[in-house]
Amino acid sequence: MTFSSLAFLFIFFPLTFILYALTKSIKVRNIILAAASIIFYAFGEPSAVVLLLLSVACNYILGILVTKGNAKSKKMYVVTAAVINIGMLFGFKYLGFFGSVLGGMTGTELNVPYLRLPIGISFFTFQGLSYVIDVYRNKKLLQRNPFYVLLYISFFPQLIAGPIVRYEDISYQLRHREFNSDRVSRGILRFIFGLGKKVLVANQMGLVADKVFSCNTDSLGTAPAWIGALCYTLQIFFDFSGYSDMAIGLGCIFGFDFKENFNYPFVSSSIQEFWRRWHISLSTWFKEYVYIPLGGNRKGKLRTDLNKLFVFFLTGLWHGANFTFIVWGLIHGVCQFLENHDIIPVKKKWFKPFSHIYVLLVTVTAFVVFRADSMSHAAGVLTDMFNIKAGSAAVNNEVFALITPLFIVSFLFAVLLSAPVFRKIEAKMADSDYSEGCMIAEYACSLLIYVLCILSLSSGSYNPFIYFRF
């Protein structure tokens, strides 16, 4: 079950909302949300519910233990939490991959099984580890009510695909939060906006991107290759940022304030700035729990560079067990290294007119590697992009047939929504004499977006979430 499924929109969410609204006790509300979260997860991954509950139980117990004993024993419990959470993630996500790599290096055949990847494991293991580390750093954050820890780790709005919520940021809200009409209306508007980004924009981009990346690269022309690369870049942005908007909106409805996960990354003038705007919760997690503990920028330039490259290696690996993800992460890490040493002169005035082109070129190229099935596939698509050729007429026609008027409209909206155009208009209107009319227009647009989304979903059209596989 996904946020953009009819079952969620018309059955699961309304029932959860009604039960939540009918009770006043924060403890009962937390139990309702925790139970709803387990049911939500069971719809998508019934066989992994026990794994999720075991993860919660282990982190809950370790959270208590880490507040007791001497400094040495406390560190041991933190290490234990890291071993359990990272070990769980490694076993399900990376064991088969590293087994095949090791087998290839040694020339032996290792029969390492590829386990079915539980949905959301990359997210709930990180949140579980965040809980133990945050309690270790500040024992006042310790939560003795197991249902509260269960809710933090498994809360359905961000369980499957984030944003990754640090326990320190949400511990107070688990015990004290508001539920009122203003929050509900703001949350619904944010949810609908995210739903529109996903259904009306990302899905349209995905149809073209999937077609291009399924083509034989020997038959693919330069124009279709670039179209596919641009479409996938827009697809993954609107797919994931749309999901984040829906998660933030749902959290707002139930009284939680999640931090923003995207902030117009494609207006960045450097790759370093891009990562301050893209998947903010993930980059923040790695900064707080990996980069800073490794020494951050306090150990000299060489150590700082190595720390950053290692973090980007992990960032790529976090996305999937494939060399394509690792290379994608390292592309961003190397570009930051080159920027920091002025080899790519992003700080120079003369470079400013080219900075946005540079960022777009790097991110689009890197996302080709990210999307490809293998490094050879990525090399083939990139060769098609940068080596001008006509390609097969039959393949080109298949791609161009998908460039419909609906696609063109979606593409234009995607370009506009990638920059803070509408945000600036909204801010100016809010401070003018037309603020009330602007609010009415906002509700009317939201209703129109919702209706269009329901019509699209009812037709059974293309509707996957990219980040569900991470």
Residues annotated as catalytic are: 319
Query: Which of 336, 347, 344 lies closest to 278, judged by CA?
Result: 336
Within 13 Å of residue 217, how many CA atoms lie on the same side as its CB? 20
Q: What is the spatial distance between Cα 178 and Cα 218, in angstroms, rounded to a whole number? A: 58
User: Six-digit token pair at 120?
Assistant: 């959301």
User: Please, are residues 331 and 196 in contact by the beta-carbon 8 Å criterion?
Assistant: no
User: Please, are residues 39 and 16 in contact by the beta-carbon 8 Å criterion?
Assistant: no
User: Is it true that the peptide bond before 46 is cis, omega within 30 degrees of 0?
Assistant: no
Residues 6+ apart with CB under 8 A from 160: 2, 41, 44, 119, 120, 123, 465, 467, 468
User: Please, are residues 239 and 202 in contact by the beta-carbon 8 Å criterion?
Assistant: yes
The Cα-based distances of 185 to 63, 189, 267, 424, 439 in angstroms read 36, 6, 29, 21, 12
Residues 6+ apart with CB under 8 A from 261: 162, 163, 240, 241, 244, 248, 279, 280, 281
User: Six-digit token pair at 23?
Assistant: 């009770």
User: Please, are residues 62 and 80 in contact by the beta-carbon 8 Å criterion?
Assistant: yes
Q: What is the spatial distance between Cα 118 and Cα 44, in angstroms, rounded to a whole number? A: 9
Helices 26-44 and 146-154: crossing angle in degrees, nearest 10, is 40
User: Please, are residues 247 and 418 in contact by the beta-carbon 8 Å criterion?
Assistant: no
The total number of residues shown for the chain amounts to 470
Query: Which of 121, 134, 104 lies closest to 50, judged by CA?
Result: 121
The Cα-based distances of 67 to 74, 127, 138, 285 in angstroms read 7, 18, 9, 22
User: Six-digit token pair at 397?
Assistant: 């026609």
